[in-house]
Amino acid sequence: MKSPIKWVGGKSKLVPLISSNAADLGSIVEPFCGSAALTLSNEPEVAVLNDSNEELINFYRVVRDDPEILIALAGILEYDKRMYYAVRRTTQDWAPAQAARFLYLNRTGFNGLYRVNNKGGFNVPFGKYNNPRIVFEGRIRSLSDYLNKDSVILSSVDFEEVFIPDGSVVYCDPPYHKVFTKYTKRDFDEPNQERLESWASRLKCSVIVSNSDNPFIRRLYRNWRILGVDTNTQVGGSCKKQRELLMMNY
């Protein structure tokens, strides 16, 4: 299953490697789900998708509960610079309208980036594309069917509060250290990186963590099994190679 949104730092290209290094993927927990690439690629019977980005989780909830309303609302929006900045300036109280705004800005903003200022305002500039498609109706409907399973849970809490069913594989894909941290009003700084490692180390299940390759992360996860992998990233407006790390507690 493919996601209807773009997501900087999404793991679609790493999914085969992550999956091959994971145990039974019948239950997946993603505390930093983003585009939920691992879950959508494997479609486990049990899944917990969590993210501190409340707009993202609202989008998933609307996809689950009101896919046709979302498709209709987003379908009237056009790829236009004036419209983009007009929509960006607005706020929406109705969940489906908020989700349509989120989808529109995601598909037409610069590189699919999600970034906010210190007040929580979305501040990504208009993206230059060649007539981009905004609404992928089939993807939204397929995702809606999957999210409507009783065994699929959506939440927007701190990672330490995420519900973890027995026997799950927990995949943590936090904002990368010294790469990009401003997905919400609060930066995911070094103390949060340390808190994540401490929490993940205490879990009694299989855990995989991804992050950038640098001395701080290698030192932090020195007691984990570490696998390095070369990837490409679009952060900054151009495709750049970067070295990423997968850390496993098994």
pLDDT tens-digit profile of 78-104? 999 999 999 999 999 999 999 999 999
Token look-up 């929490």 returns 199
Residue 185: the pLDDT is 61
Domains of the chain in sequence order? 15-52+151-248 (3.40.50.150)
pLDDT average, residue stretch 124-132: 95
Task: Encode pLDDT of 156-206 as tens digits.
Answer: 999 999 999 999 999 999 999 988 655 556 789 999 999 999 999 999 999
pTM value is: 0.93
Q: How far apart are CA 103 and CA 88, in angstroms?
A: 11
| Percentage of the chain modeled with pLDDT above 90 | 83
146 band by pLDDT with thresholds 50, 70 and 90: very high
Residue 155 in this model has a pLDDT that exceeds 80? yes
